[in-house]
Amino acid sequence: MKTGSIANNASLAPHLPLKFTLKDGRECLIREMTEDDAEELCEFLPKTHLESDFLNYLPGEFDKTIDQEREFIREHNAKPCSISMTAVVEGRIVAVAGGASPEQRRYVHHAECGLVVLKEFWGAGLGRRLMGCLVEWARQAGLRKLYLKVFGDNSRAIRLYESLGFVGEGRLKGDVLRGDGTYGDTLIMAHFFVGEP
């Protein structure tokens, strides 16, 4: 355990699994992601890249094999301070979210996080639930801040993060190549638990 007072994985997700009802009445289960999700994620993730221009991969760019995805999940979950979550509706993965701290001692007090919801499920309350789980995870891990990067024109996501207590920290200009060939800004937003400036 190299993270000082930061809690280890075993105690980080006491709020999972979480069952709740979506706004459309369907039942949803949010649980920790396992290596067994790899095969379905290799279909789920490329689909999300086709549905949204607000994600890190351009359409068609994701080319991990199931074994590589399995290894990615294994490595992520083995980090001293990390979380990965899968949201399941009617037996299929409809959203994922995760976060992790760097392992260097200078940086273990914070974590970066991210999430994606299948378009068919936008507006059903999943994003808010998943972000709530990430914030709760970070709080219980004893982190000082949880941050994320969001494209500057992703107003829907930015509104969600602001409503959960995230504030803008800075803007990386011309940071990201968009689907239409233009370059856009990336906004860094953080939720401070301790030492908010």
Ligand X SMILES: CC(C)(COP(=O)(O)OP(=O)(O)OC[C@H]1O[C@@H](n2cnc3c(N)ncnc32)[C@H](O)[C@@H]1OP(=O)(O)O)[C@@H](O)C(=O)NCCC(=O)NCCS
Give me the residues that bind ligand X (CB under 6 A), please.
52, 54-55, 115-117, 122-128, 148, 150, 154, 156-157, 159-160
130 contacts 95 by C-beta, under 8 angstroms: yes
Beta-carbon contacts of 101 under 8 Å, excluding residues fewer than 6 positions away, are 3, 6, 79, 80, 81, 82, 107, 108, 109, 110, 111, 141, 143
Q: How far apart are CA 37 and CA 45, in angstroms?
A: 11
Least Å from the CB of residue 67 to ligand X: 26
Nearest CB to ligand X, comparing residues 81 and 126: 126
SS (H, E, C) 120-171: HHCCCCHHHHHHHHHHHHHHHCCCCEEEEEEECCCHHHHHHHHHCCCEEEEE
Q: Which is nearer to ligand X, 26 or 156 (CB)?
A: 156
Q: How far is the CB of 120 from ligand X (least distance, A)?
A: 10
Q: What is the dihedral angle through the alpha carbons of 104, 108, 126, 179, rounded to the nearest 10 degrees?
A: -40
Q: Quick one: 6 or 148, whose CB is closer to ligand X?
A: 148
Q: Do residues 77 and 86 make contact, with C-beta atoms less than 8 angstroms apart? A: no
Q: Nearest distance from residue 142's CB to ligand X, in Å? A: 24
- CB nearer to ligand X: give 53 or 71: 53
Q: Which residue number is nearest to ligand X in terms of Cβ?
A: 127
Q: How far is the CB of 174 from ligand X (least distance, A)?
A: 18
Nearer CB in complex with ligand X: 6/37: 37
Nearer to ligand X, 41 or 150 (CB): 150
Shortest spacing between CB 117 and ligand X, in angstroms: 4
Q: Shortest Cβ distance from residue 6 to ligand X (Å)? A: 24
